[in-house]
Amino acid sequence: MYSTPPKLSIIFKTLFIIVLTFFLFSLQTWAQSKDPSPISFPTPKNVDHMLFYLQRDPNTNTLIYALNLKGNGSINANAPIQVYWIRYGEKGQKKDLGYIQRKFAYGIDTKELGADKYEFRFVSHKKLPFYLQRYSDKSYHVSVTINNRTIKVTRLFIRIQGGSFWLPNVKYAEVEGAEESTGKPVVERISVK
């Protein structure tokens, strides 16, 4: 039976430790580059006509973007999307956006494009158009095209790290949903600067 000489065994062990250390360091660096939020966010449940929701640091309060229907069940063409908070960080109550939030941060500007189709942009990031439209199954969805992929949006996440009320330090935004052509789950990170 063949046995490894002691010096060669030590070299293999040292080499293994070096490779393992390098791998763990790379994994840690990769995880840090993802820069996830330290907060555990709830998923909104049983929200009437919700199109998608938006969450951001520094708390769990969640913005709901819901279809705005008239009393007769048709869409309100003048304001097809209503935006409001679910204040999970407090008592979970529903609350309207304040004036500053609506005009400078989380509000949207909407333009009708045709029957059952609207374009909207966030007041704080007007570069990226989103589209609300009615699909063949009679339901409405929001979509956005990023990196040549059209995504049916379910969640937006904004990573904020420091800054001030008027100038938060936004590190990135993520769009989550399903790729429209395949139905596969997708997350796309976008720069908001």
Cα–Cα distances (Å) from 48 to 41, 88, 92, 119, in that order, read 20, 17, 15, 22
Cα–Cα distances (Å) from 93 to 39, 85, 105, 159, 166, in that order, read 19, 8, 20, 23, 25
The predicted structure's pLDDT at residue 4: 52
The predicted structure's pLDDT at residue 162: 85
| Length of the chain in terms of residues written | 193
Distance of CA 128 to the CA centre of its chain: 14
The predicted structure's pLDDT at residue 37: 72
Within 10 A of 105 (CB to CB), how many other CB atoms are there? 19
The predicted structure's pLDDT at residue 88: 94
Spell out the alpha helix ranges (H) of 72-184: 99-104
Cα–Cα distances (Å) from 141 to 47, 81, 97, 173, 176, in that order, read 15, 11, 22, 20, 13
Per-residue tokens: 110: 């909407």
Spell out the alpha helix ranges (H) of the chain: 6-34, 99-104
Distance of CA 112 to the CA centre of its chain: 24
pTM above 0.85, yes or no: no
- 16's CB contacts (< 8 A; 6+ apart) are none
Tens digit of pLDDT per residue, the chain (193 long)? Answer: 555 555 655 544 543 443 333 333 333 333 334 566 778 999 999 999 999 999 998 899 999 999 999 999 899 999 999 999 999 989 899 999 999 999 999 999 999 999 899 999 999 999 999 999 999 899 999 999 999 999 999 999 999 888 887 788 889 999 999 999 999 999 999 887 6
The predicted structure's pLDDT at residue 163: 83
